Amino acid sequence: MEHVISGVAKFQKEVYPTKKARFSKLADGQNPEVLFITCADSRIDPNLVTQTEPGELFICRNAGNVVPPHSNHSGGMTASIEFAVAALGVSHIVICGHTDCGAMKGAIEPENLDSLPHVKEWLGHCRSATDVVRDRHGELSKDHLNEVTCENVVQQLQHLRTHPAVASGLANGRVTLHGWVYNIGSGEVLCFDESTREFKPMDERYRAMFGELADSVAKDTCGN
Q: How confident is the model at residue 220 (pLDDT cuts 50, 70, 90)?
A: low
Structure confidence by residue, pLDDT tens digits, 7-51:
999 999 999 999 999 999 999 999 999 999 999 999 999 999 999
The reported pTM is 0.90
Spatial neighbors of 165 by CB under 8 A, at least 6 apart, are: 81, 82, 85, 86
Cα(10)–Cα(16) distance, integer angstroms: 9
Q: Where in the chain is the domain with CATH 3.40.1050.10?
A: 32-222
CATH class belonging to 32-222? alpha beta
Q: Are 148 and 130 in contact (CB under 8 A)?
A: yes
Structure confidence by residue, pLDDT tens digits, 108-129:
999 999 999 999 999 999 999 9
Q: How confident is the model at residue 221 (pLDDT cuts 50, 70, 90)?
A: low
Average pLDDT value for the chain: 92
pLDDT (average), residues 214-224? 48
